[in-house]
Structure 1
């Protein structure tokens, strides 16, 4: 059985770990661990009630290739932080491509027009979780359905309004009334230049693969075209941060917040960078007593990522 998934967020070269575990995209670590343990007990050969060899083999593959990697990513602070940042950018990316997105499941279509998005979304996730891995042959299909729910939820929370389905005209309706001049449609929100969006998509793909130097080049080119794009500044700052270029990251996070005070990536990471840069400044001002014969303390080369990601400053 193929474990390939090509619907929902998976369609955009994104591994939807929340869909694999069937938890909401804003689930905390405690919820994620509880859900993982329940799935693992069901799929693990030492605790599973599965009897046939074919199903045992499939259960083992689902556990080792999908469930375990999903839990490892979402439970560790470093990988979870990186994953959530990329996930938050997915909503903006999907808004740009919303015209080409086609929903295939009834649940996703209901969620697209639901007035209470959070209630309907979390109720649907909880309901599916009850039986997600009961039929192992249907597991990939169910993960696809959950990922499509996650896609709709991200788009709705990013500002997408799906048009409700057109109502059918009633039979034997009254004679048509004279047509009135329709009101002009509201102006569409400004869209980023299409060429800039191409740079951003390429950069996003490179970031997801941890290829930060080429992502930096793409984003610098994007800023040449659109220097007032908060999204460009924010992503470039994140790329600088992942390379331990903290001063450059701070500059671009500052620029992103000037252009968009609600930028989620900048709000999440700029305080941490400010704190580390402040600590480095304080450390550099400490003077070693003269003629004591003592060695000067070694400097930490890890910067922000000595405590978060590891790695050396480039």
Structure 2
């Protein structure tokens, strides 16, 4: 055992006052700790005193081991006191729950989408009340935030169409379908733009012969009937 080897190397009778007090102390661990701390405070005052302190601490160790062996029947290693957490360790431990529970901030695209949707809803309200000029301004602001939003282009195309601006309506309709070929309002505007063109063409073709011949026929019949009455 370590205590037996130490006992052979060291004198059996303690020399220092601290060792004598430790040999008769009732609370061995507490007395040992107090004695070592008192000696450690004076360890580095001078070289000679440091050597004397080291010898006294060695003697305290020997007394402690011998008494411990007698009390327990063998030397058992004592567990060192739990090391207190350093400030850095405490800060790291405290930061972990915060990192785990903190929610990520909303991404900018989601915020932009929300603003665009709000503008579209306001524009739809203006369109429902047939205030297409205000709806156009609202949709232009939305396009500044998201230039390729197919819904904005489609709604703007409808506003232009309702205001009689066919060229602008066609341009916005094409932009909407370029971003989303299935955009419902853009397809509706496209259909509306195509219908007047085909209707006007058919009407123009019908009016030319019908209208001209009708006038000639009316004039001929008028002259004929008028001449008959005079006779």
TM-score of the superposition, structure 1-length normalised?
A: 0.28
Q: Which has the larger radius of gyration?
A: 2
State the structure with bigger RCO (CA 8 A, min sep 6), 1 or 2: 1
Structure with more of its chain in helix, by fraction: 2
